[in-house]
Amino acid sequence: MALSTWRNPRLSRINPRSVGAVRVISGKFRSRRLKGTPPSGIRPTSDKLKETIFNILGPGIQNSIFLDGCAGMGGIGIEAISRGATFVYFVDQSRKACQIIRENLKSLKVEEGYKIIETDLIKALNSIDTALDIAFVDPPYEREDLYDACLKRFGSAPLLAPDGLLIFEHSKRKELPNVSGTLRRIRSLVQGDAALAFYRAWGDRPLPNPGGREREAQAR
């Protein structure tokens, strides 16, 4: 999957009442607003951040198998469906979050092409038997253990399809490793307080140079 040339901050202690409505940016559900109040501690992806992610993915989202890990209200996964993903896995251990995702998919009349997995992300990865074209993972910023476990899992098992892409949303104050098992970081971006790290399963090929962190404004 080629990246276009050209992040879903989820922080602790967020007041749900301070979060604006979540909407679909583009695709067949463009401008549709998602229902529900985010569970405590979850701040859904801002429109600007969501647009950045999908501009980078470009046409690679079409016909893809997509993972929305630590999905919260499911805004990223629903955006993927709207833009043409073939199948989306929504993973979150919050019962309330999963119920919100179900209600929004129902309101959009999405009856197939998805699976909601209500469990811990690492357990969910062990149950997914389909290679992922794109995996977007956004743990709570303070859960360094979950970042580490997820990197280890993806780096030690063939979870990604050939040329598949793993994307982490994380705090700009945290630097993720260049290498984890078979994973190689190929790109980094910073937008506001958030950062994105892009990985591919690289195997024994020479290491790519991920370069420094790009500022979102410079990437446009």
pLDDT tens-place string over residues 55-103: 999 999 999 999 999 999 999 999 999 999 999 999 999 999 999 999 9
pLDDT at residue 217 in the model: 37
Q: Which band of pLDDT confidence, cut at 50, 70 and 90, is reported for residue 42? A: confident
Range 26-31 contact pairs with CB under 8 angstroms and sequence separation of 24 or more: 26/51, 26/54, 26/79, 26/82, 26/83, 27/79, 27/81, 27/82, 27/83, 27/84, 28/82, 29/78, 29/81, 29/82, 29/108, 30/82
Helix (H, G, I), strand (E, B) or coil at 66: strand
Q: Which domain holds residue 33?
A: 16-219
Question: 2 in a domain, yes or no?
Answer: no
pLDDT at residue 21 in the model: 72
What is the share, in percent, of the chain residues with pLDDT greater than 70?
A: 80
Picking from 16-20, 64-68, 151-155, 174-178, which range would have the lowest pLDDT averaged per residue?
Answer: 16-20
Q: Which band of pLDDT confidence, cut at 50, 70 and 90, is reported for residue 4? A: low
Picking from 38-52, 120-134, 201-215, which range would have the lowest pLDDT averaged per residue?
Answer: 201-215
Tokens of 33: 């607003």
Question: 107 in a domain, yes or no?
Answer: yes
Answer whether residue 108 shows pLDDT above 50: yes
Looking at the structure of the chain, the number of domains it has is 1
Q: Are 154 and 166 in contact (CB under 8 A)?
A: yes
- The pLDDT mean for the chain works out to 85
pLDDT at residue 169 in the model: 93
Between 22 and 151, name the one with better pLDDT: 151
Q: For residue 98, how far is the Cα from the chain centroid?
A: 16
Question: 10 in a domain, yes or no?
Answer: no
Q: Which amino acid belongs to residue 184? A: R
Contacts of 207 (CB under 8 A, 6+ apart): 178, 179, 184
Strand duo 183-191 + 194-201: pairing: antiparallel
For the entire predicted model, the pTM comes to 0.85
Answer whether residue 25 shows pLDDT above 90: yes
Question: 7 in a domain, yes or no?
Answer: no
Question: 5 in a domain, yes or no?
Answer: no
Q: DSSP state, 117? A: E
Question: 30 in a domain, yes or no?
Answer: yes
The phi, psi pair for 195, rounded to 5°, reads: -140, 155
pLDDT at residue 12 in the model: 33
Question: 187 in a domain, yes or no?
Answer: yes
Q: Which amino acid belongs to residue 69? A: G
Q: Are 91 and 117 in contact (CB under 8 A)?
A: yes
Q: How far apart are CA 106 and CA 116, in angstroms?
A: 13
Question: 25 in a domain, yes or no?
Answer: yes
List C-alpha distances in Å: 47 to 9, 82, 153. 11, 14, 30
Q: What is the CATH number of the domain that holds 88?
A: 3.40.50.150
